[in-house]
Amino acid sequence: MNQKSNHPQVAGRLPVVAIVGRPNVGKSTLFNRLLGSRKAIVGDRPGVTVDRLESECLIGTQNVVLVDTGGIGEGTYDVMQPAIDIQVEAALEIADVVLFVVDGQAGATPVDAAIASKLRRHQIPVALVVNKAEKPDSELDFFSLGMGDPVAISASHGNGIRDFSVQLERMLPEVVESREEGQEPVASIAVIGRPNVGKSTLINAWLGKERMVVSDIAGTTRDAIDSFLDYRNGVVRLVDTAGQRKHGRISDIIEFVARVKAVQAFRRADAAVMVLDGPEGVAEQDMRLMQLAQDEGCALIVAVNKLDLMTEAEWKHYVERLDFRMRGLSDILVCKITAKSGKGVKKLLDEAVKAAGRNRFEVGTGELNRWMQAAQEAQHPPSDRGAAVKLKYASQIATSPPSIKIFCNRPQALKTSYRRYLEQSFRKTFNLTGVPVRLTFAGGNNPYAPEKKR
């Protein structure tokens, strides 16, 4: 196991552990074993895992993002192989530690040697994991790969996993909070978007200095970097999500790297500013990032950049198209900016701070239940095969995003359309523009009410 780390610290995000190796060595089985659930598809033929899987996982006492990849290096005539190669490249783009899995029953192969060479070029800390090592000394053949001391395990049976997890935890970079001592941010704002849409330029405009590297080359930003901005009587934390490295020119790599780093930012943010390139229009990836922001619980604002390059007619057409594309999201505020000149950026920051505050919204139980009753009276829930469905009691259980638990007599009968109506009603009643509202439903009466005397 190679314990040299090029990432001794990571600022305010979860470390990423990527699992790589040739097909059918047990990568997905190890992924499931470390995760504690059967999330990855496991099969006995090469190429079963094509798409990457990523999930939060506990290694020892530290949370990480665990990434499973497709097999690499085999199947010259296999049409899936180029896609699998791309996925591994994508995983390596965001990995802090790599688990290189080999097959203890098959022994070291030329493909394993080629993968080892590839990993050495990346200069990422690597743990060489010999899977299917039920027989003694199964790992000895793999010293020839020059990847440090191999670790023998059996992912399917769990042999050696506990000791391996202890060693893996030692390899993980230290997570440090990148905020100023003694200052709790009034808002934490993630700036997201495709490469080269102007995210770093926007942050520089807010900070009034060249804090982020700005270039016309997509992917100049290499990692998510927190910045702090004095704002009225406090500070705002700004998170610029990374693009990709130089050879991330393949669209699949660009999107995957952006997605993983965006998720890391969303989990530390109250609000997300989605930067769109006005002249380029709205891409499918833009919509996926916006949906992801709300799925991860961030209030969302859209900033259309480079307005100086658009005519009024082009802007009108753009807004119409954007409204149509965002119809599945909650009401989203759209701001016009030109980050390069600073036009509109101050108003955007004010709106982003307000959105972060809305995401931390708390409501008293009395006011919450008055809303619920009014919403129910304005539009009665559809009946369940002739039986009335009644909402009885509501209680707020969390913020960021606001999460409400509603008790009713027939929760399973509430249709998706009525649940959506309640979310929209809640958002409108309490002026929560751009905030994802979480409503959950449970059967029974008010569990907090005192029991009636018999």
Q: Does the annotation flag 233 for ligand binding?
A: no
Q: Does the annotation flag 444 for ligand binding?
A: no
User: Which residues are CB-contacts of 285 (< 8 A; sequence separation ≥ 6)?
Assistant: 194, 255, 258
Q: Does the annotation flag 193 for ligand binding?
A: yes
Tell me the C-alpha distance between 318 and 279, whole Å: 9
Determine the distance from the C-alpha atom of residue 143 to the mean position of all C-alpha atoms in its chain, rounded to a whole number: 36
Q: Does the annotation flag 163 for ligand binding?
A: no
H/E stretch holding 423 reads helix 416-429
Q: Does the annotation flag 64 for ligand binding?
A: no
Determine the distance from the C-alpha atom of residue 85 to the mean position of all C-alpha atoms in its chain, rounded to a whole number: 22
Q: Does the annotation flag 6 for ligand binding?
A: no
Q: What are phi and psi of 122, to 5 degrees?
A: -80, -20
Q: Does the annotation flag 197 for ligand binding?
A: yes
Q: Does the annotation flag 311 for ligand binding?
A: no
H/E stretch holding 234 reads strand 234-240
Among candidates 267, 324, 323, 326, which has minimal Cα distance to 295?
Answer: 267
Q: Does the annotation flag 63 for ligand binding?
A: no
Q: Does the annotation flag 244 for ligand binding?
A: yes
Which amino acid type is present at position 137?
D
Q: Does the annotation flag 241 for ligand binding?
A: yes
Q: Does the annotation flag 216 for ligand binding?
A: no
Q: Does the annotation flag 187 for ligand binding?
A: no
Among candidates 109, 110, 69, which has minimal Cα distance to 86?
Answer: 69
User: Which residues are CB-contacts of 140 (< 8 A; sequence separation ≥ 6)?
Assistant: none
Q: Does the annotation flag 196 for ligand binding?
A: yes
Among candidates 252, 233, 151, 218, which has minimal Cα distance to 184?
Answer: 233
Q: Does the annotation flag 204 for ligand binding?
A: no
Q: Does the annotation flag 340 for ligand binding?
A: no
Is the Cβ–Cβ distance between 193 and 275 less than 8 Å? Answer: yes
Q: Does the annotation flag 306 for ligand binding?
A: yes
Q: Does the annotation flag 132 for ligand binding?
A: yes
Cis before 279? omega within 30: no
Q: Does the annotation flag 365 for ligand binding?
A: no
Q: Does the annotation flag 336 for ligand binding?
A: no
Q: Does the annotation flag 445 for ligand binding?
A: no
The tokens for 51 are 């798409």
Q: Does the annotation flag 434 for ligand binding?
A: no
Q: Does the annotation flag 78 for ligand binding?
A: no
Tell me the C-alpha distance between 276 and 283, whole Å: 9
Q: Does the annotation flag 43 for ligand binding?
A: no
Q: Does the annotation flag 39 for ligand binding?
A: no
Tell me the C-alpha distance between 235 and 179, whole Å: 10
β strands within 40-136, DSSP E:
53-59, 62-68, 97-103, 126-131
Q: Does the annotation flag 195 for ligand binding?
A: yes
Is the Cβ–Cβ distance between 385 and 345 less than 8 Å? Answer: no
Q: Does the annotation flag 200 for ligand binding?
A: yes
Q: Does the annotation flag 343 for ligand binding?
A: no
Q: Does the annotation flag 240 for ligand binding?
A: yes
Q: Does the annotation flag 81 for ligand binding?
A: no
Q: Which residues are annotated as a binding site?
A: 21-28, 68-72, 131-134, 193-200, 240-244, 305-308
Q: Which residues are annotated as a binding site for GTP?
A: 21-28, 68-72, 131-134, 193-200, 240-244, 305-308
